[in-house]
Chains A and B, each alone.
Chain A
Amino acid sequence: MNGHSNFSHASLVSSASWPRWWLWAAVGMTVSLSWTVPFVPWWAALGSWMCGVLTLTILAFFARKQDESFPHEDGEYLESHETKNVLEQVDALMAHSKDIELIPQVDEVLQNMAADNQRRRLDDLMHRWVDVGQRYGEAALVLRREILNVIKQTEQAANTIASSFEAVINKATIQARQAMELLEGTQGAANDGTPQSLKDFIQVSDERLNKMADEVVRVADLSVNMVRELDGVQNRTQAIDGFLLDVEKLADQTSLLALNADIEAARVGEHGRGFSVVASEVRRLSKRSHEFSDRIRVHLKEVRTGLSKTYGDMRTLSAADMEHALTIKDDVLSLTRSLEGKNREVAETVSRINEISKEIAQDVQNVVVSLQFHDITSQKLNGMLEPMDDLRRTLYHLMQETVNLDKGLLKNLPGNENWLLRMRDDVAAGGEANSGKEGAQKTLKFRGATGSGPAVELF
């Protein structure tokens, strides 16, 4: 008892005295300022020292004040303070009387002290409980709002993705179909003989070109035949030349014969005059025969010249025709080969496009599966709301009961006083939603999503 009493007095003295650090700081400052005396004027050093001492004194004064005004912040200190009060009372009792009859009063004081302590602890706990309730209530409201926002935002995003995806796939399908049409167009067969595809066009033009080339060759052959015929005609004109020489010889002989007849007629005199007339007529005929022969030769020469020119022209013509036809045929042939090459490339590209379309179809399947994520996640998030609302509802009722017990608790809390009201309003709104069919179903959804079983089952 005495020990406790001493401890109590010591603590009283210790809490009432100046802090020890003030003395040490004052001494330290004096020493450090005295060192500066040789370097600065004495009044400056003294002034600094006085300012320092004044500051320290003010600080120490406030430190003392604070020590005295907040003795309940620390639980341990509170306990020692309580103990101090009780011990003071006990000391007072012991000082006044040493009578054993006063001992029951000590018990009563101790019991009062314990009850008092218990009440303070309860108060503290209640404050903390309401504080936690308020903080959780606010956090739950924020969480609820955020979860609903997330569901809404993911829904919007999923809808946009799904629409864009559908548009992309539709366009890809059209593209693939058009590519296939192009493939059929370039590779397909002609039904009515007219070229419908590039392939048909190449085939038909090749056939026509071959036909044309054959015609040109045939015409060239005919030209060669004609040239041969012209050779024969020329030979025949030479034979006519020979005949003309024969005719001229005959005319010469006839003329000689007429001269002889004329000589013989002159010899027989008057009786031969008539014969002389015949001889001169024969001579005239022979002369005319010569003239005819010359004129025929002239014409024959012209014919031969014309024939020879025609012959030359025809040879040139047939050779040029053949050469030209062959050149054109070669050119068009290389052109069609190149077209065929291009056509093959087109066919390869289009079939590659077709393959890509098949690959896209496979990717589409994966995307369709993945795009269902929103439905699943939103159901899981909705499932989270239900237990959270349940917890908040329970908390609201507990808070309400607590506040009903002590109206002052609500007023002591920082922040606005309407938080409990807001919590109730939101709970009421949540309660309405949850009392409806949707809320109950969302819970089931949550549970269902965690179940197991075959993915597909036909009953």
Chain B
Amino acid sequence: MATILTVDDTASMRQMISFTLNSVGYEVLQASDGKEALKLLQGKKVDLVIADVNMPNMDGIALVKSLREQADYKFTPILMLTTESQESKRQQGKVAGATGWIVKPFNPEQLLTIVKKVLG
């Protein structure tokens, strides 16, 4: 089963995402911001990244840009899961190289459908 990294500065959000993904058998890794995520991904390959946009130290958009510069993560799907629903923010995400945009609060069934779809 695929390995998924969830990046969010709110612990309860990470817990809910992990819980939802674990329930169908995905292996889930957690990071509380962009920097921690990059550190965790060093020498490790995950199949999907689900990241919040607004986080301390390094935000979601910067994380996407940084990951897209790495050869290993050039084509790895990255979903943004955020309270942001502004068109301008979405465009920033799209330009940075994000695969999709999900507005919080997420519905577990919906999240699983999207994850399945982007993992192919």
Measured between alpha carbons, how far is A452 from B85 in the docked complex, in Å? 5
Decide if B104 touches A458 in the complex (CB within 8 Å): no
Q: How large is the interface on B (under 10, 10 to 19, 20 to 34, 35 or more residues)?
A: 35 or more
Measured between alpha carbons, how far is A376 from B106 in the docked complex, in Å? 12
Instruction: Pick the residue among B23, B56, B107 that contacts A438 (CB under 8 A).
Output: B56
Decide if B19 touches A368 in the complex (CB within 8 Å): yes
Q: A365 CB to closest chain B CB, in angstroms?
A: 5
Within 8 A of A (CB), among B63-84: 82-84
Does residue A364 face the partner (Cβ distance < 8 Å to B)? yes
Does residue B3 face the partner (Cβ distance < 8 Å to A)? no
Q: A453 CB to closest chain B CB, in angstroms?
A: 4
Within 8 A of A (CB), among B4-45: 8, 10-13, 15-16, 19-20, 23
Does residue B114 face the partner (Cβ distance < 8 Å to A)? yes
In the complex, what residues of B have CB within 8 A of residue A371's CB? 12, 16
Among the stretches A44-52, A138-146, A155-163, A250-258, the one at the interface with B is: A155-163
Instruction: Pick the residue among A166, A369, A438, A449 that contacts B83 (CB under 8 A).
Output: A449
Decide if B16 touches A368 in the complex (CB within 8 Å): yes
Q: How many residues of A contact B (CB 8 A)?
A: 40
Decide if B15 touches A459 in the complex (CB within 8 Å): no
Does residue B55 face the partner (Cβ distance < 8 Å to A)? yes
Instruction: Pick the residue among B12, B86, B114 that contacts A448 (CB under 8 A).
Output: B86
In the complex, what residues of A have CB within 8 A of residue B54's CB? 379, 441-442, 444-445, 448
Measured between alpha carbons, how far is A162 from B18 in the docked complex, in Å? 11
In the complex, what residues of B have CB within 8 A of residue A452's CB? 85
In the complex, what residues of A have CB within 8 A of residue B83's CB? 375-376, 379, 445, 448-449
Residue of A nearest to B58 (CB): A437
In the complex, what residues of A have CB within 8 A of residue B108's CB? 364-365, 368-369
Does residue A378 face the partner (Cβ distance < 8 Å to B)? yes
Q: A134 CB to closest chain B CB, in angstroms?
A: 33
Measured between alpha carbons, how far is A213 from B95 in the docked complex, in Å? 84
Decide if B86 touches A375 in the complex (CB within 8 Å): no
Does residue A192 face the partner (Cβ distance < 8 Å to B)? no
Decide if A455 touches B103 in the complex (CB within 8 Å): yes
Given A369-B106, A441-B56, A453-B90, is A448 in contact with B84 using a C-beta cutoff of 8 Å? Answer: yes
Decide if B15 touches A159 in the complex (CB within 8 Å): yes
Residue of A nearest to B59 (CB): A441
Instruction: Pick the residue among A169, A447, A451, A453 that contacts B19 (CB under 8 A).
Output: A169
Q: B84 CB to closest chain A CB, in angstroms?
A: 3
Decide if B56 touches A375 in the complex (CB within 8 Å): no
Does residue B98 face the partner (Cβ distance < 8 Å to A)? yes
Within 8 A of B (CB), among A323-367: 364-365
- Max chain B CB contacts within 10 Å: which of A162, A373, A453, A456? A456
Does residue A5 face the partner (Cβ distance < 8 Å to B)? no
In the complex, what residues of B have CB within 8 A of residue A458's CB? 99-101, 114, 117-118
Instruction: Pick the residue among A159, A173, A456, A459 that contacts B12 (CB under 8 A).
Output: A159
Given A365-B109, A369-B106, A456-B114, is A375 in contact with B101 using a C-beta cutoff of 8 Å? Answer: no
Decide if B114 touches A158 in the complex (CB within 8 Å): no
Measured between alpha carbons, how far is A159 from B16 in the docked complex, in Å? 10
Does residue A372 face the partner (Cβ distance < 8 Å to B)? yes
In the complex, what residues of A have CB within 8 A of residue B109's CB? 365
Does residue B120 face the partner (Cβ distance < 8 Å to A)? no
Decide if B57 touches A163 in the complex (CB within 8 Å): no
Does residue A457 face the partner (Cβ distance < 8 Å to B)? yes
Decide if A456 touches B16 in the complex (CB within 8 Å): no
In the complex, what residues of B have CB within 8 A of residue A84's CB? none
Measured between alpha carbons, how far is A457 from B114 in the docked complex, in Å? 10
Measured between alpha carbons, how far is A369 from B110 in the docked complex, in Å? 11
Decide if A459 touches B10 in the complex (CB within 8 Å): no
Decide if B12 touches A374 in the complex (CB within 8 Å): yes
Decide if A453 touches B99 in the complex (CB within 8 Å): no
In the complex, what residues of B have CB within 8 A of residue A368's CB? 16, 19-20, 106-108
In the complex, what residues of B have CB within 8 A of residue A455's CB? 85, 102-103, 110
Q: List 6 A-B contacts (CB under 8 A).
A: A155-B10, A371-B12, A374-B10, A437-B59, A444-B89, A448-B82
Not counting A457-B90, A457-B102, A458-B118, a sample of 11 additional A-B residue pairs whose C-beta atoms are within 8 angstroms of each other reads A155-B11, A162-B19, A169-B19, A365-B107, A371-B16, A372-B104, A376-B105, A445-B83, A453-B103, A455-B110, A458-B99
9 nearest CB pairs, A to B: A448-B84, A451-B86, A372-B105, A458-B100, A158-B12, A453-B85, A451-B85, A375-B10, A162-B15
